[in-house]
Amino acid sequence: MSPRAQVYILAALLALMGAGLTIYKNVELGFPLLPGEYRTVWTIEAKVRFNADGGPAKAALTLPRAQRNMEVLGETFSSSGYGFNVIREDDEYRAVWAKRQASGVQSLFYQLDVHQTPGAALEQPLDLSTKVVAPLLGAREQEAVRQAIFSLVGTARERSSDTRTFTSELLTALGDNRNQDRNLIFGYYKDRSFVDVALLVLAAADIPAHRIRGLYLEDDRRRLDPEDLLEIYDGKRWVVFEPLSGSPGVPKNFFIWQRGGKSLLDVEGGRDSGVTFSVISNDVPARDVAMLSTSQEKEALVDFSIYSLPIEQQSIFKLILLVPVGALVVVLLRVFVGLRTSGTFMPVLLAIAFIETQLFTGLAIFVLILILGLWIRFYLSRLNLLLVARIAAVVVTVVILMGAISVVSYKLGIEQALTVTFFPMIILAWTIERMSIVWEEDGPYEVVIQAGGSLLVAVLAWWVMTNRYIEHWTFNFPELLLVLLGFIMIVGNYTGFRLGELARFRQLVR
């Protein structure tokens, strides 16, 4: 295979790999493609309160299980003086607080951060029992109530075609307070909630059903009681119903805390127990959300990446990852334009210094150091020093110049010039040395051309490297460097004319 074809294949592979990883991170891990994206994170706090009797106390709270459309980013427990652990029993997670001696009002807190992601709320199938315990409607209930229940079920059955439509119909009937049967039932079960009654009627109709406890996520809500949804089994799947409206599906913003099963809270050794919830929302940078949600699962892609480094090293890498972008700018300007610079990648180092110093301060300091350095170098050349010693002398001089610039500008109140330290000294010293040779051999004009070319490339590289999109992409999607690598390889295959050559060879066209 010709080298050219190899380059294209390799470049395509690299680009595909980079783009694939990027898309994966965006779609699966939720890393935002654009900077400044914010996500809403809900902080839900459950507060368990009870009045302890004075003896040993134990409180067990059912905890929410992972669900598809809600990502749990983190959880915290606060329970002063209580022993705490999370136990798993019968496919349920329960937080258990325990204390040998407790008296008076006790407050226990459990807090979790969740982020809503698009997608279906619930997973199917669920290992919930579909066994129906038929309600004992015989001895205890009056004949009238029993008749009313069967009448409701009968009407709903007539007006429906399957379990789903039946349930909708039944719930609508139960919510309609002009319905005589319904009023009779609710009159009898005064102390029961709507969902309790609905469950009873569904059981009478021989439909497996249970309660779902949860919360509507709305900002800044306090002391919320959990709300209930109904879930029925239609023979194949579990379907969630909003009980009052009778419409199927989990309502938007509904956070499911408990699905079927036992009670929400059990307290031993206390009275008047209850659990209330508060909800607040925070807008958090999307990347932080992605980081939090993936750090729990320890995604290999994130775990073996710069995110696993300490924050300080990360900020260094943020800069280092920009170097390839600067290199790309150099490649483009060299290959397509044909700019002459002093030292191939010196402009990239300059651009990095400019990022730290700000552009105009950096430019001013660079030109100042170059001029002073050249002047001193010309004097040094008269002293007949060996080359290495002379460059070392220039390095020392550059350092002294930097110190002097810093001190003088600080005294003058120009704090910006203090950032001068970011200039790569050795590179500057070599540049000064090379420039002075160019001056001697090719004249000052060539020095201006080369220094100007370097500065132009450096400024362009700076401009690209400080672009907030570029910064965002290189840091959050370092795999895009593979795409960049592929692109550089393709550029390296360009055999057309450079822009400068279109002027250089113009005399050949007559």
Partner 1 sequence: MQLPSFLRGGLVSPFQLRRLGVLGMNARNVHYIARYNDRDKYPIVDDKLNTKRQAKRYRIPVPELIAAFETQPSRTRVMGVIEPLEKFVIKPARGSGGKGILVIVGRDGDEYLKPSGSKVTALDIQRHVSNIHSGLYSLGGKPDRVMIEALVDFDPVFDKYSFEGVPDIRVIVFRGFPVMAMLRCSTHDSDGKANLHQGAVGVGVDLATGKSCHAVQRGIRIDKHPDTEMPFSDLVVPGWQELVRLAASCYEMTGLGYLGCDIVLDRKRGPLLLEANARPGLAIQIANGVGLRTRLEHIEKMDLEQLEKNVEERVAYSMDYFSAPPLV
Q: Which residues bind partner 1 (CB under 8 A)?
A: 335, 338, 381, 384, 386-388, 430, 433, 437, 441-443, 492-499, 501-509
- Compare residues 55 and 443 and give the one whose CB is closer to partner 1: 443
The answer to whether the beta carbons of residues 340 and 453 sit under 8 Å apart is yes
- Compare residues 225 and 442 and give the one whose CB is closer to partner 1: 442
The answer to whether the beta carbons of residues 84 and 96 sit under 8 Å apart is yes
The answer to whether the beta carbons of residues 387 and 430 sit under 8 Å apart is no
- Compare residues 118 and 496 and give the one whose CB is closer to partner 1: 496
- Compare residues 154 and 444 and give the one whose CB is closer to partner 1: 444
Whole-number Å distance between alpha carbons of 99 and 2: 77
Residue 368 C-beta: closest distance to partner 1, Å:
25
Residue 476 C-beta: closest distance to partner 1, Å:
34
Residue 349 C-beta: closest distance to partner 1, Å:
16
- Compare residues 36 and 500 and give the one whose CB is closer to partner 1: 500
Q: Using alpha carbons, list the distances in angstroms from residue 312 to 285, 306, 472, 475.
A: 19, 11, 17, 14
Alpha-helix residue ranges (DSSP H) falling in 387-424: 387-412
Whole-number Å distance between alpha carbons of 247 and 172: 9
Q: Using alpha carbons, list the distances in angstroms from residue 128 to 209, 259, 385.
A: 10, 9, 88
Whole-number Å distance between alpha carbons of 233 and 249: 13
- Compare residues 415 and 440 and give the one whose CB is closer to partner 1: 440
Beta-carbon contacts of 304 under 8 Å, excluding residues fewer than 6 positions away, are: none
Residue 447 C-beta: closest distance to partner 1, Å:
13
Whole-number Å distance between alpha carbons of 225 and 328: 58
Residue 22 C-beta: closest distance to partner 1, Å:
30
Determine the 3-state secondary structure of 24 from DSSP.
helix
- Parallel, antiparallel, or unpaired for β 38-53 and 270-285? antiparallel
Residue 363 C-beta: closest distance to partner 1, Å:
26
The secondary structure element, H or E, covering residue 239 is strand 238-242
Residue 499 C-beta: closest distance to partner 1, Å:
7
Determine the 3-state secondary structure of 188 from DSSP.
helix
Of 334, 480, 491, residue with least CA distance to 8:
491
One-letter-per-residue 3-state SS of 360-388: HHHHHHHHHHHHHHHHHHHHHHCCCCCHH
- Compare residues 7 and 368 and give the one whose CB is closer to partner 1: 7
- Compare residues 249 and 343 and give the one whose CB is closer to partner 1: 343
- Compare residues 298 and 340 and give the one whose CB is closer to partner 1: 340
- Compare residues 33 and 456 and give the one whose CB is closer to partner 1: 456
Residue 373 C-beta: closest distance to partner 1, Å:
16
Of 123, 66, 73, residue with least CA distance to 250:
123
Residue 510 C-beta: closest distance to partner 1, Å:
8
- Please name the amino acid found at residue 39: R
Residue 442 C-beta: closest distance to partner 1, Å:
7
Two structure tokens written together for 433: 């040395």
Q: In what order do the strands lie in the sheet with 270-285?
A: 70-78, 103-116, 38-53, 270-285, 221-224
- Compare residues 364 and 489 and give the one whose CB is closer to partner 1: 489
CA dihedral 230, 231, 232, 237 (to 10 degrees): 160
Residue 458 C-beta: closest distance to partner 1, Å:
21
